[in-house]
Chains A and B, each alone.
Chain A
Amino acid sequence: MLDKDTLVFFAKFIESQTGIAYSEVTFFQLEGRLETIAKQLGFPSVSALAQSALRDGIRGAMKDLVLDLATNNETSFFRDTSLFDALTQHVLPELARQHVHKTCRIWSAASSTGQEIYSIAMLIQELQKSMPSSSWELTASDISERVLAKASKGLYTQLEVQRGLSAQRLLNNFEQIEDTGDGAIWRAKSTLQKMISFKRLNLIESWPSTLGHFSLILCRNVLIYQTVEQKRLVLQQLTRHLEPNGLLVLGGAESLIGLSEEYLQEQVGSTYMYRLKPREQSQAS
């Protein structure tokens, strides 16, 4: 068992680095996470880990793991194999063929720390080797300035790049840099970054009219946290920004049932997406 002062020490460090606040009510959760880290680093006990931190500061591998566990990191590159297989094998090649003479626009709404949009950018770069005449514009948005700043800089820690990125893709798309002070030592190459524009956007507030239209919108694992009314509002707005016949991708556990009549569910590979119905068809239903 760690004493309260030690837990406060770790909690303050985490809050200063990530904005995530542990209160006394959640200290037991923090302690559990520190016990896991103690094992990973080979400390005989969590007390030994704490002694080391108090003596030498929280840095290096300990810092990476503390911040990683604190953020309860669920996001990764190429998260959801069935989705990215569908994008690779079906959706992106089809969009490339349709957009030889015009730019294909893709939007990652609620992009968080950017792994989703950078994954798509990597796939497009790989596709462009065989379809060089395709032209792409990627947009990523999130409500949080903090995660958007991280995403726009394309900076990731060693642990983050190991989530979902093979060694070859890492070397092809990222460059190593000096530690930025918060553990980030890999940066997305400029060839990826210049494909993407990052915008702050709250999905349940009014949206800028300049957002434009997209062929593909990803809005994964966002609607599940909304009320029914908010879901309908967000969907209406997303629909206004989809091109005719455009595709909407939701999270694996989400669906449009009861929320919108404007889409047809379509199986793509082993996953499902939603194709915007032609106007007259959606009006008839």
Chain B
Amino acid sequence: MQHVLIVDDSKAIHAYLQSLLEESGPRLSHAYSGEEALSLYPSLGAIDLLLIDGEMPGISGPETARALRGLAYKGPILMITTRNQAADIQHALDQGVDDYMMKPFTRDILMAKIDALKGVV
């Protein structure tokens, strides 16, 4: 896994994810809104994993995922969310998200989720 795009409006989450992923050493790109992610995407090159906040002002995480799938992004999408209602999870899956993780999450959960998504192309 060489290049990860993090999309979240919270700088603290970007910093936390960076600290958890430092050891495995992927290049990280950062977007602080869905709109910014869509604007940056064409110039980012190949992305191996997208970590996306479920709830952002403006375009939501699932909507951003759907738009990125429309831009032919085929890699794994892991959504990080505060909502764990079954309907919300199913909606995100229907928009092209592959898996989700509730906040707060632990390092072992993040790494296990990422590991499980490695087969997703």
A residues whose Cβ falls under 8 Å from a Cβ of B: 39-42, 61, 65, 68, 76, 81, 158-159, 162-164, 166-168, 170-171, 175-176, 185
Instruction: Assess whether B102 is in contact with A162, with CB atoms less than 8 Å apart.
Output: yes
Instruction: Assess whether A176 is in contact with B86, with CB atoms less than 8 Å apart.
Output: yes
Interchain CB contact (< 8 A) of B90 among A65, A163, A171: A171
Q: Answer whether A41 and B92 are a contact pair too, CB < 8 Å, given A158-B84, A171-B86.
A: no
Docked pose: A208 CA to B76 CA in angstroms: 48
Instruction: Assess whether A170 is in contact with B112, with CB atoms less than 8 Å apart.
Output: no
Instruction: Assess whether B86 is in contact with A40, with CB atoms less than 8 Å apart.
Output: no
Q: Which residues of A contact B109 (CB under 8 A)?
A: 159, 162-163
Taking CB atoms and an 8 Å cut-off, the chain B residues in 47-79 that contact chain A are none
Q: Which residues of A contact B102 (CB under 8 A)?
A: 158-159, 162
Q: SS class of chain A's interface: helix, strand, loop or mixed?
A: helix
- Expressed in whole angstroms, the minimum distance between the Cβ of B50 and any Cβ of chain A is 15
B93 on interface, CB distance cutoff 8 Å: yes
Q: Which residues of A contact B84 (CB under 8 A)?
A: 158, 176, 185
**Which chain A residue shows the least CB distance to B109?**
A162
Docked pose: A178 CA to B97 CA in angstroms: 26
**Which chain A residue shows the least CB distance to B119?**
A81
Q: List 30 A-B contacts (CB under 8 A).
A: A39-B16, A40-B104, A40-B105, A40-B106, A42-B12, A61-B104, A65-B104, A65-B106, A81-B115, A81-B116, A158-B84, A159-B102, A159-B105, A162-B101, A162-B102, A162-B105, A163-B108, A163-B112, A166-B98, A166-B99, A166-B116, A167-B89, A167-B92, A168-B93, A170-B89, A171-B89, A171-B90, A175-B86, A176-B85, A185-B84
* Additional pairs, 5, CB under 8 Å, beyond known A159-B105, A162-B102: A40-B105, A81-B115, A171-B86, A176-B85, A185-B84
In which size bucket is the chain B interface? 20 to 34
Docked pose: A167 CA to B103 CA in angstroms: 14
Interchain CB contact (< 8 A) of A76 among B86, B98, B105, B112: B112
**Which chain A residue shows the least CB distance to B108?**
A163
- Expressed in whole angstroms, the minimum distance between the Cβ of B6 and any Cβ of chain A is 17
B27 on interface, CB distance cutoff 8 Å: no
Instruction: Assess whether B90 is in contact with A68, with CB atoms less than 8 Å apart.
Output: no
- Expressed in whole angstroms, the minimum distance between the Cβ of B5 and any Cβ of chain A is 20
Q: Which residues of A contact B89 (CB under 8 A)?
A: 167, 170-171
Q: Which 6 A-B pairs rank lowest in CB-CB distance, beginning with the nearest?
A: A40-B104, A167-B100, A167-B99, A162-B109, A158-B102, A166-B99
Q: Which residues of B contact A176 (CB under 8 A)?
A: 84-86
Q: Which residues of A contact B97 (CB under 8 A)?
A: 167
Name the residue among A40, A76, A162, A166 with the largest chain B CB count within 10 angstroms. A162
Docked pose: A159 CA to B93 CA in angstroms: 19
Q: Which residues of A contact B100 (CB under 8 A)?
A: 167
- Expressed in whole angstroms, the minimum distance between the Cβ of B92 and any Cβ of chain A is 7
- Expressed in whole angstroms, the minimum distance between the Cβ of B82 and any Cβ of chain A is 10
Q: Which residues of B contact A41 (CB under 8 A)?
A: 104
Instruction: Assess whether A159 is in contact with B90, with CB atoms less than 8 Å apart.
Output: no
**Which chain B residue shows the least CB distance to A68?**
B106
**Which chain A residue shows the least CB distance to B89?**
A167
Q: Which residues of B contact A167 (CB under 8 A)?
A: 89, 92-93, 97-100
